[in-house]
Chain A
Amino acid sequence: MATTTSDFRVDPVSGLKIHRTANTLVKWNAVAAVVFLLVGGLFGLGVALTRMPSVQLLSPELFYLALTAHGLVNLVVWIIFFEMAVLYFLGAHVLGNRIATPRWAWAQFWLMLVGAALVAVAVLGGNSSVMMTSYPPLQAEPHFYLGLIIFAVGALIGCFVFLGTLVVAKREKTYQGSLPLVVFGGVTATVIAVFTLVSGAMILIPTFLWSVGLIGYIDPMMYRVIWWAFGHSSQQINVVAHISIWYLIASLVFGAKPMSEKVSRGAFLLYILFLQLGSAHHLLSDPGLTSAWKIFNTSYAIYLAVLASMIHGLTVPGSIELAQRRKGIDTGLFTWLRKAPWGNPVFSGMFLSLVGFGFIGGVTGVVMSVEQINMVIHNTMYLPGHFHGTLVVGTTMAFMAVTYWLIPVVFQRKIALAGMAKWQPYIFSLGAWVFSIALMGAGTLGVQRRHADITFAGQPLAYEYPEIAKGLMDLGEIFGVIMSVGAVMFIVVVLASIFTGERIAEDSAPWPKVEDADVVAERTGKKHVGMWGMEAPGTFVLAMILFATIVLYYFVNFKYLSTIWGLS
């Protein structure tokens, strides 16, 4: 397809050569994502206010409906719409490329929208409150499954549009040599996404046929094994996507380059090879699967995907430290960090995402996926605590951070309400961090997840959780409300910027670009940086703190495990 120069514009903010059609697609997917974030967040707020033992807002019927909706909208719809925007941005914008087959890309958008709407109709109808996991023999209405299938087909089309866009870039030589690291991360996410969506189709199509009576029986164990290849792997797409965004922001804000392309790419490769084995995490306390199967899969062979995450956890802040030191902030251990632009939400959001994901989502994820320890946390409130520590603290915060940079580039508007934007990452993260930690505390004390009422009120065999567990639930959900406030602030900033932000004319003067740290170092002759023979000693110390936390938490949990009933 021939393209003319008017199909592109040169963006004054980023200097990128932007394909207008690709840009429109990024816009629509991003807007859909944010609208769904709002919708899902409102359901989440309802869930939070019900789970506070002292408030109990919703009736059980409405609670289970809201929890089903919250899970699907925030865990699936918001995130996958945003990821479509990210993929098109990586394939087209970053590479100065046109998007392949725009018609198929629009099919992606509309199929996902129609699918999400069908699921919404089913859930809001009240007869499909089966949770996002929809384990048979619990049965939802047929259009619940059909909506999910259509949504997944749309997303799958989006993946292939992205891959096709890369082929175009290669053929039309819009870049030289290897793909940039962030695009390589996008490829990693796409490979995992294809695996994920095919798994989803494999299990949801028969379940749909079962719901309309064409198939007589869905084995509950088989369903869980295949469903989690979809349910867990979809969250792995997020991890890869938000790690790519970390690298992107480190480069945008600091002019940083990856410490070692080889190491970072190798870590992404480990994700492609091993990350999906992690769907076994959900099956560790299941009957019918052997311990050999569980141990191999839950540990991603020999924890090779954990290794990859630990590598990214060091190399991203390491690249920032290195850039800061090369630019002259080369004293002390943490001066580079203290002098970072903490008032810029693109950076603060990204760094909060990084630290929170490592210490809250990461540490607990490693420990809870030990086959034996899983028995003392499986399906307790620990689970929602953990995955809010990954998905909200990590993924959602990173997506929000990059949005503050994307609005001027993609929507050609300056950020409106910059003061609110500056505080938003802190308020959102404060809420999300305490929420996650408090829920994990309650789960450790036994509180079960997905309960409309954790007091067992009026039951003859009633059991009371320890008072401290109920207190933790109250505390956690109060911070859940703070997290919601942070999310609303984000949505207000986004909508205000898109609709009322100051326009950035296409022919306006280029914005000052952050200089590559390498270029600065070359000019100033600053070749050797760091101390103790390490270029990033501050990051190494931070990594050691993370390491000590994992080791300590690992053994604390084994100590707790060793006190319970004997089980074999």
Chain B
Amino acid sequence: MGTAYTPPVADWWREPIERTEIWWIVLAFAWCIFMFVWMIGWHFVGPQNMSNETYRTTVDVYAAKVDAMTEKYTIRTDEATGEPVVAPPPGSDVYLAAMQWQYRPILELKKGEKYRLHISSYDVGHGFSLQPENINFQVYPGYEQVTTVTPNKTGIFAIACGEYCGGAGGIGHHSMLGRIYVKE
């Protein structure tokens, strides 16, 4: 007797569970535990993990760091934009700023080397999206996140914006770009 829209029998909690359900629950729960352990395990054995290093900052403080790095390590001007290309040495701190509507400065890194990449925003929230690698982080004003990155391919990489950040006409969220060159 019964349906899903009528009250169940009085002692429904004593009814035995059928085998189809038991096997499925056991299997599903085993997979749940596996996924939980694997996600923790990747932090120890996997080479791609979110950084846990974040600092509070202000636009002025962060801009000063970006400018100091740009002044110190500019190696040439970019052909497309005429703007400086900055090549900080391997192992150093690299400062990237998101702003309406670009990522600056343009960077040049070496393949196989580690860099401490700092990212913050000068105005609203943005998204760091490295293409075609498709690496995506959220970026806030007031927060400076530090990720240790190791480029494993050479080439020209674009940084698109992953978080809607306003704009209109030809200029806005959809036109926001930056660039990273990776050399041997």
Contact = CB atoms under 8 A, between A and B. Distances in A.
**Most chain A CB atoms below 10 A, which of B124, B161, B174:** B174
Interface stretch (B35-43, B66-74, B87-95): B35-43
Nearest to A535: B18
A7 interface: no
B109 to A, nearest CB: 10
B137 A177 contact: no
Given A178-B8, A248-B5, A290 B169 contact: no
A535 B172 CA distance: 58
Contacts of B170: 60, 457-458
A536 B20 contact: yes
A344 interface: no
B35 to A, nearest CB: 6
A448 B158 CA distance: 12
A294 B50 contact: yes
A566 B150 contact: yes
B133 A310 contact: no
Interface stretch (A101-109, A258-266, A473-481): A258-266
Interface string A247-282: 110111001111111110000000000000000000
Contacts of A141: none
Interface string B152-177: 11000010111111111110111101
Contacts of A259: 18, 20-21
B36 A221 contact: no
B133 A262 contact: no
A306 B62 CA distance: 41
Given A287-B143, A376-B136, A567-B148, A453 B18 contact: no
B150 A565 contact: yes
Interface in A404-460: 444-446, 448-454, 456-460
Nearest to B179: A461
A461 B8 contact: no
B106 to A, nearest CB: 8
A296 to B, nearest CB: 9
Interface string B39-56: 110110011111110100
A302 B33 contact: yes
B81 A287 contact: no
Nearest to B156: A463
Interface stretch (A35-43, A131-139, A503-511): A131-139
Contact of B25 (A175, A263, A283, A566): A263
A137 B141 contact: yes
Interface of chain B, helix or strand or loop or mixed?
mixed
A117 interface: no
A372 B8 contact: no
Given A180-B4, A379-B127, A568 B49 contact: yes
B127 to A, nearest CB: 5
A536 B161 CA distance: 49
Contact of A262 (B12, B135, B161): B12
Given A247-B4, A380-B136, A463-B131, A452 B172 contact: yes
A299 B39 contact: yes
Contacts of B40: 295
Contacts of A298: 39
**Most chain B CB atoms below 10 A, which of A263, A518, A530, A567:** A567
A448 B161 contact: yes
Interface in A295-323: 295, 298-299, 302-304, 306-307, 310-311, 314-315, 318-319
Nearest to A139: B124
B20 A537 contact: yes
Contacts of B43: 291
A443 B106 CA distance: 25
A311 B3 contact: no
Given A519-B1, A564-B135, A450 B15 contact: no
A64 B174 CA distance: 10
A543 B24 contact: yes
6 contacts: A135-B125, A180-B6, A380-B134, A446-B131, A463-B158, A530-B20
Interface of B: 1-10, 12-13, 15, 17-21, 23-25, 27-29, 31-33, 35-36, 39-40, 42-43, 46-52, 54, 80-81, 102, 106, 114, 119, 123-125, 127, 129-145, 147-153, 158, 160-170, 172-175, 177-179
Given A285-B138, A315-B21, 6 more contacts: A94-B5, A257-B4, A287-B137, A518-B2, A567-B149, A568-B49
